């Protein structure tokens, strides 16, 4: 909930309910073309802990506090944010459950709805059933995908995935050849999502596709994370694309998710 606004702020007012998300400049070519997740200033606005001019948003006494993670650091009870990354929501909705829409749910759902854009009846597989993966499963269900395959070594996560729309689940440690199992079941998936970020998972997700098919990789173990794939799988009409924040415009997509 907004407790105060700065001079010149007109989009939001005290008492408004908001969901905080990633910051972006709104002015670069990526932002102007509807892809703010690939903002040219994304790193500076979200990772460096200061404003663009290097000044901090917070102080503890005279000590500078370098927070502003994702342009807000909303794990605190109070956060300094921008109108760029504060999305107004209906104040009649339970605000306590809307927070995850700003990052994890936006990322997984956006990969399905903004990037893959499946048609009803097309198949999809999701590797990694955490917040991001579960969001992808729910979005796939909403889009009418069938079958929807969830892959994770955690039985409890797979059980949740089934409740949220997965038609089939696999524990990759319980089968000798996961790709073969999926191909036998589906004949090849139209779309896959890697919400883990390991080379093994990316290869499995790519090799489980039909031709043509598309794999989106969302997970990241570390900033320098090399993966190796067989070019032959790409030459068969399969594509591998990287996705940040579901390639979403939060001010458009978060209200769509709520609706």
147 in a structural domain: yes
- Asked whether residue 40 falls in the same domain as residue 156, the answer is no
- In this structure, are residues 145 and 125 in contact, taking their beta carbons and an 8 Å threshold? no
Same domain membership, residue 226 and residue 122: yes
Q: How many CB atoms are located within 10 Å of the residue 28 CB?
A: 16
Highest-scoring range by mean pLDDT, 40-44, 75-79, 214-218: 214-218
Note whether 78 and 109 are same-domain residues: no
Residues 165, 62 share a domain: no
**Which tens digit of pLDDT belongs to each residue from 208-231?**
999 999 999 998 877 778 888 889
Q: Which of 142, 145, 138, 139 is nearest to 120 (CA)?
A: 145
pLDDT of residue 75: 78
96-114 mean pLDDT: 95
Instruction: Report, as an integer, the average pLDDT of 52-67.
Output: 83
193: tokens are 């999502």
Strand 17-20 with 86-89, pairing: antiparallel
Q: How do residues 123-144 score in pLDDT, each as one tens digit?
A: 999 999 999 999 999 999 999 9
Residues 69 and 114 placed together within one structural domain of the fold: no
User: Are 218 and 108 in the same domain?
Assistant: yes
Residue 172: domain span: 104-247
Position 34 in a domain: yes
Domain boundary among 97, 116, 145: 97
Q: Is residue 181 part of a domain?
A: yes
Domain boundary, last residue among 97, 124, 142: 97
Q: Give CA–CA dist 88/2, Å, rounded.
A: 10
Q: Any idea what the CATH number is for the domain that residue 132 is in?
A: 3.40.50.720
pTM: 0.92
**Is the same domain home to 50 and 137?**
no
Work out how many domains the chain is built from and give that number.
2
Q: Is the domain of 215 the same as that of 120? A: yes
Q: Flag whether 80 is in a domain.
A: yes
How far, in Å, CA of 130 to CA of 22, rounded?
20
Assess if residue 2 is contained within a domain: no
Query: Are 25 and 126 members of one domain?
Result: no
Q: Quick check: 74 pLDDT over 80? A: no
Q: How confident is the model at residue 31 (pLDDT cuts 50, 70, 90)?
A: very high
pLDDT at 84 over 80: yes
Give long-range contacts, CB 8 A cutoff, 24+ apart: 150-159. Answer: 150/125, 150/126, 151/125, 151/126, 151/127, 151/178, 151/204, 152/127, 152/128, 154/129, 157/129, 157/130, 157/133, 158/129
Residues 56 and 166 in one domain: no
Instruction: Write down the residue that tokens 């989106």 correspond to.
Output: 216
CB of 46 within 8 A of CB of 103? no
The residue among 77, 97, 117 that closes a domain is 97
In terms of domains, do 203 and 167 share one? yes
Distance of CA 239 to the CA centre of its chain: 19
Q: pLDDT confidence of 57, banded at 50, 70, 90?
A: confident
* Inside any domain, residue 73: yes
Within a domain: 74: yes
């Amino acid at each position: 909930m907004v407790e105060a606004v700065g001079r010149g702020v007109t989009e939001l007012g005290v008492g408004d309910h908001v969901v905080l998300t990633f910051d972006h400049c709104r002015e670069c070519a990526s932002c102007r073309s509807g892809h703010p997740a690939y903002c040219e200033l994304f790193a500076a606005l979200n990772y460096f802990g200061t404003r663009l001019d290097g000044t901090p948003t917070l102080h503890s006494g005279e000590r500078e506090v370098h927070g502003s993670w994702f342009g807000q650091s909303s794990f605190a009870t109070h956060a300094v944010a921008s109108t760029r990354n504060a999305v107004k929501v209906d104040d009649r909705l339970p605000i306590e459950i809307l927070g995850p829409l700003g990052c994890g749910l936006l990322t997984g759902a956006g990969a399905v709805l903004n990037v893959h854009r499946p048609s009803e009846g097309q198949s999809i597989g999701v590797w990694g059933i955490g917040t991001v993966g579960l969001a992808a499963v729910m979005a796939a269900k909403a889009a009418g995908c069938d079958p929807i395959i969830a892959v994770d070594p955690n039985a409890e996560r797979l059980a949740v995935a089934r409740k949220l729309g997965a038609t089939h689940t696999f524990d990759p440690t319980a089968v000798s050849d996961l790709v073969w199992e999926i191909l036998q079941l589906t004949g090849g998936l139209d779309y896959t999502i890697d919400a883990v970020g390991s080379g093994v998972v990316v290869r499995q997700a790519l090799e489980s596709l039909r031709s043509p098919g598309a794999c989106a990789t969302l997970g990241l173990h570390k900033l320098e994370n090399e993966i190796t794939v067989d070019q032959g799988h790409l030459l068969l009409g399969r594509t591998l694309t990287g996705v940040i924040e579901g390639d979403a415009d939060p001010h458009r997509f978060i209200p769509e998710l709520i609706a």
